A and B are shown apart, each in its own frame.
Chain A
């Protein structure tokens, strides 16, 4: 039988978080909890012949595998985040045993407690704003001058107009994104602007002019979504996702055990 590692999904605050029975972990194994004081870590066993360093390095080259694992990881995080303040852990964080995870909770208790206090009672919403470059930036067509002009002159003029109109369209869309972000940030406790997703990732051709994340009090959720609705139209497409576990507001880099020893 292969050696077994402990895959870590998330850390939550407060007892009462039984493992989500109906949500299997990344290798199909049931999710378990490891507790220390008021912290709960959600873990599941993974076979090290597939989740050891070398096999993982190979698997991570396989985008289908990455996608499947990401969804399994995310399902556990979401199941947990619906019940307690949750700090999601980055994909494929694996320990040699549950005792090592318990040790982590013990060593970093204050760090986790601080982060979890910040997100308690709050959810993350994602808002993306797209502008369509075709409708937003199409140059004026069919001006009577074109026929009379020398071809080179007409070319230069159309070229200039095309550049100018696309440039203006971009500026208008970017300015609109600023307004959307400002209005939503005013309803949120905290907000982050992430880099626009690459079109290959989003699968869309239009410009993503805003990729925002907003941490919102649970009781203000409706107010927030109403604010999003009010910003729809106006020449842009507004996409709302969530509520999510607070992925964007629990970022902390705890480094390695070695680094800690060196401190």
Chain B
């Protein structure tokens, strides 16, 4: 898996040689793995290798490929809580509501500068702390998915002010 960062995926995208004479695009290895590891007939032969028992395969590959049912049996269900995969976006709805409330307050001038800064920082802290995702992903690999509160937020973050200034502002 050390290759992941370099290639942008576990495997090169197009391996070709899927279904001969097919009209679809050539099958890539991801599609093949998904099928041969997770579908079709499951029989335990005389050589007993339970794919679910293989440690690394479990960690790396099962996480990537496991069907919903298989993964739930393994207790892997992170995508059910990932707003970008579920579309439920409960966290985002909540955050949006909170931001709307505070924006309204700020526009009415009810917040002092220091209060606003403090709230903004707390918000950023919360957002960063909430970014818990499967270990296989890193910020560098998956900026969009991993952090819905990602690049655009960093782009507008204000430079820190001097502590003294903050006291004056308050």
Q: Counting CB contacts under 8 A, is A118 at the interface?
A: no
A152 to B106, CA, bound (A): 8
A141 to B7, CA, bound (A): 32
Interface pair B47/A56, CB less than 8 Å apart = yes
Q: Which of B17, B25, B51, B67 contacts A91 (CB 8 A)?
A: B51
B-side contacts of A207, CB under 8 Å: 84, 145
Q: Counting CB contacts under 8 A, is A29 at the interface?
A: no
Interface pair B25/A254, CB less than 8 Å apart = no
Most buried by B among A164, A207, A247: A247
Distance (whole angstroms) from the CB of A262 to the closest CB of chain B:
13
0/1 per residue, A236-261, Cβ < 8 Å to B? 00011111110110111111110000
Distance (whole angstroms) from the CB of A42 to the closest CB of chain B:
12
**Which residues from 83 to 112 on chain B have a C-beta closer than 8 Å to any C-beta of chain A?**
83-85, 87, 89, 92-93, 95-96, 99-100, 102-103, 106-107, 111
Which chain A residue shows the least CB distance to B142? A199
**Which residues from 156 to 206 on chain A have a C-beta closer than 8 Å to any C-beta of chain B?**
156-160, 162-164, 166-167, 170-171, 174, 194-205
A-side contacts of B145, CB under 8 Å: 133, 199, 205, 207
Q: Counting CB contacts under 8 A, is B36 at the interface?
A: yes
Interface pair B61/A63, CB less than 8 Å apart = yes
Assuming the contacts A61-B54, A94-B47, A244-B35, asked whether A201 and B65 have C-beta atoms less than 8 A apart, the reply is yes
Interface pair A195/B66, CB less than 8 Å apart = yes
Which chain B residue shows the least CB distance to A242? B24
Distance (whole angstroms) from the CB of B151 to the closest CB of chain A:
10
Distance (whole angstroms) from the CB of B101 to the closest CB of chain A:
10
Interface pair B120/A156, CB less than 8 Å apart = yes
Distance (whole angstroms) from the CB of A62 to the closest CB of chain B:
9
B-side contacts of A63, CB under 8 Å: 1, 10-11, 60-61
A134 to B55, CA, bound (A): 36
Q: Which of B7, B19, B37 contacts A244 (CB 8 A)?
A: B19
Q: How many A residues face the partner with a CB closer than 8 A?
A: 91
Q: Counting CB contacts under 8 A, is B4 at the interface?
A: yes
Distance (whole angstroms) from the CB of A195 to the closest CB of chain B:
5
A254 to B64, CA, bound (A): 24
Interface pair B99/A70, CB less than 8 Å apart = no
A209 to B19, CA, bound (A): 24
Interface pair A70/B32, CB less than 8 Å apart = yes
Assuming the contacts A70-B32, A200-B4, A251-B39, asked whether A60 and B54 have C-beta atoms less than 8 A apart, the reply is yes
0/1 per residue, A25-68, Cβ < 8 Å to B? 00000000000000000000000100111001100110100110
Interface pair A241/B30, CB less than 8 Å apart = no
A-side contacts of B20, CB under 8 Å: 78, 82
Q: Counting CB contacts under 8 A, is B128 at the interface?
A: no
Q: Which of A8, A67, A250 contacts B39 (CB 8 A)?
A: A250
Interface pair B137/A163, CB less than 8 Å apart = no
Which chain A residue shows the least CB distance to B85? A196
25 A-B contact pairs sorted by A residue (CB < 8 Å): A5-B46, A8-B45, A63-B1, A70-B29, A73-B36, A88-B35, A89-B41, A90-B36, A90-B38, A133-B145, A152-B111, A153-B116, A163-B149, A195-B71, A201-B30, A202-B30, A203-B11, A225-B23, A225-B24, A242-B19, A242-B22, A243-B23, A245-B19, A253-B42, A254-B44
Complex A-B, nearest 4 residue pairs according to Cβ-Cβ distance, in ascending order: A203-B9, A88-B40, A94-B47, A247-B35
Q: Give B contacts to A, CB under 8 Å.
A: 1, 4, 7-13, 15, 17-49, 51, 53-57, 60-61, 63-68, 71, 79, 83-85, 87, 89, 92-93, 95-96, 99-100, 102-103, 106-107, 111, 113, 116-117, 120, 136-137, 141-142, 144-145, 148-149, 152-153, 156-158
Q: Give A contacts to B, CB under 8 Å.
A: 5, 8, 11, 48, 51-53, 56-57, 60-61, 63, 66-67, 70-71, 73-75, 77-78, 82, 87-96, 100, 104, 115, 125-126, 133-134, 139, 150-160, 162-164, 166-167, 170-171, 174, 194-205, 207, 221, 225, 239-245, 247-248, 250-257
